Amino acid sequence: MAYNTENIIPQPPKRPHGFLQRLLTKGKVFPFTKANDTIALSLAGEVTPSYLKDIEGDNKSLYWNEERLNSEALSGWSQFYTFLLTMTKIILMFFLPLAYLILLYPLLFSHGSWSERWDDLSAAFYGQTLYGTLPCLLIWGHYKLVCKGYYFLAPFLKSKRVYSLNRQTGMVTLYKRGNKVRFTHPFIEFDCVLMSAPSPQGHLNYNLMLVHRYQPYSVGVPISNLIGTNERVVEYQRLWNMIQRYMDVSQPMPDLLVLEEARAKDPVTAAHDQQTGRDPRYWRDMSDETYKKTLAEIAEQQKTSPATGPKINIFADS
């Protein structure tokens, strides 16, 4: 059943759980609210209008649409491939040119006949090209082919699912290895908990989790991966506000660039936009520079506005 703040089924109080569950929920719990228009700007700035123009019309390319918010992460092989590409680029641009210059030095300045020096140089060039340059060029060529759409050449680059929030069904799903479902429950059954821990540098790192209230799971849904771990606390409050706004079918979806194309496909959001006369391409027709300036203006406005809407009680009277 979809989450609707106009028709909330009162929830039972939280039951005590074991040590792992208490450890997981040891943090600041953000209450449920009637979400306002506040947005998390660190998330809004992740996608630019120019990027959306490149994939316009392909709603499947977006991680967030009118149906669900999908979070994915790179697989272990994908991370290794990214590291390999970075090292290959560095080798091709810096180390290989330097190595060839070093090989030329004996030819120009060492003693001996030209024929002997040329034979030595040829052998060295052959070895370096065969075992250094050629493998790097093959790796880089493979990357360029994948970028052109030949994805069958890299089946190991498939991403792994982390979690999914479904606006239409009101369900929250966490995945485990092999993209198998670890658990799935209604959104209203989760507490939003902000946990903090000091980094090696002495700064606080934050983790915003959706923790199931009634089951003793040892893991939660890491929604802070949408904005990272080094934001101010108010930014995590704004993120929680946006998540509630998105899941609440009694309200239009958050007004974000990444969701703009999907607004017309959600009945509540489409009706709201028609009533308010919102330009359906308000964000997408901006230049990247104008978009950044607009987000900066919103940041100034949000300094004096509450990060979330009024608190609502989702629990039954005890």
Q: What is the pLDDT of residues 227-286, one digit of tens each?
A: 988 899 999 999 999 999 999 999 999 999 999 999 999 999 999 999 999 999 999 999
Name the token pair of 52.
């959306």
| SS3 state at 68 | strand
Is pLDDT above 90 for 25?
A: no
Both tokens of 185, joined, read 């429950």
Instruction: Enter the pTM of the model.
Output: 0.78
Handedness of CA 58, 60, 62, 67 (dihedral sign): positive
Q: Which of 225, 195, 193, 228 is nearest to 211 (CA)?
A: 193
Q: Are 157 and 75 in contact (CB under 8 A)?
A: yes
Please indicate whether residue 55 or residue 205 has the higher confidence score (pLDDT): 205
List, in order, residues 6 or more apart from 134 with CB less than 8 Å away: none
Cα separation of 285 and 50, whole Å?
A: 9
CA 170, chain centre distance (Å): 21
For residue 37, give the 3-state DSSP assignment. coil
| Separation CA 134–CA 142 (nearest Å) | 12
Q: State both tokens at 187.
A: 């959104």
Average pLDDT over residues 169-191: 95
Residues 308 and 19: their CA atoms lie apart, in Å, by: 31
Q: Is 80 exceeded by the pLDDT of residue 201?
A: no
Cβ atoms < 10 Å from Cβ of 304: 6
Distance CA 187, CA 318 (A): 22
Domain residue ranges in the chain: 19-74+159-302, 77-156
Q: How far is CA 113 from CA 104, 105, 125, in A?
A: 15, 14, 18
Name residue, tokens 């489409």: 270
pLDDT digits (tens, 9 = 90+) for 75-128: 667 778 788 888 988 888 888 888 878 877 666 665 656 566 666 667 777 788
- For the cut 70, the answer to whether the pLDDT of residue 56 exceeds it is no
Helices and strands in the chain: count of H runs, count of E runs: 11, 7
User: Could you tell me which of 188, 151, 152 has the C-alpha nearest to residue 172?
Assistant: 188
Q: What average pLDDT score do residues 34-58 get?
A: 87
Q: Is 166 a residue whose pLDDT tops 80? A: yes
Q: Please report the pLDDT score of residue 232 as a whole number.
A: 93
pLDDT of residue 165: 98
- Name the least confident of 77-91, 140-154, 178-192: 140-154
CA-nearest of 65, 3, 1, 40 to 248 is 3
Euclidean distance between the first and the last CA atom of the chain, given in angstroms as a whole number: 24
Backbone angles phi, psi at 81, to 5 degrees: -65, -40
CA-nearest of 218, 265, 225, 267 to 243 is 225
Q: Which single residue is written with the structure tokens 């360029």? A: 144
The residues that bridge with 3 in the sheet, in sequence order, are 248
For residue 207, the cross-strand partners are 195
**Residues listed for the chain:** 318
Tell me what pLDDT residue 130 has.
83
Looking at residue 23, its pLDDT comes to 63
The pLDDT of residue 164: 97
Band (pLDDT 50/70/90 cuts) for residue 16 is low
